[in-house]
Amino acid sequence: MNALVTDPTDWIDVGAVTDVPLRGARRVPTPKGDVAVFRTGDNQVYALMDRCPHKDGPLSQGIIHGRAVTCPLHAWNIDLATGEPMGADAGKGCTPVVPLQVREGRILLGQV
């Protein structure tokens, strides 16, 4: 789980974990902007707002490697757990993390 949401009505079911391919992502539209839901090669699930902190590139279209995603626009590597850029770009902004739970194989997002 990426964050704490206490009210159970605040969680939105956005699909099964298996709907997101291994080392892939899905974009989920919300009233406050698109959310990118990622599934790593070791079957961990993360959610970030779907915009790179550099130039708002669509992270859902990036390449997932380990527990990071590479932005398709300018190759920034973003940590999926923290939303922070990695390597030489560390400290240059942050992509907001979206609260996420997995229950009975279903992905639940906290209110964005």
pLDDT by residue (tens digit) across 80-96?
A: 999 999 999 999 999 99
- Classify 78 as helix, strand or coil: strand
Q: What share of the chain is helix, strand, coil (3-state, %, to 5)?
A: 10, 35, 55
Handedness of CA 97, 65, 52, 102 (dihedral sign): negative
Is the confidence at residue 27, as pLDDT, over 90?
A: yes
All structural domains of the chain: 22-98 (2.102.10.10)
Cβ count within 10 A of residue 90: 11
Report pTM: 0.89
Instruction: Please name the amino acid found at residue 49.
Output: M
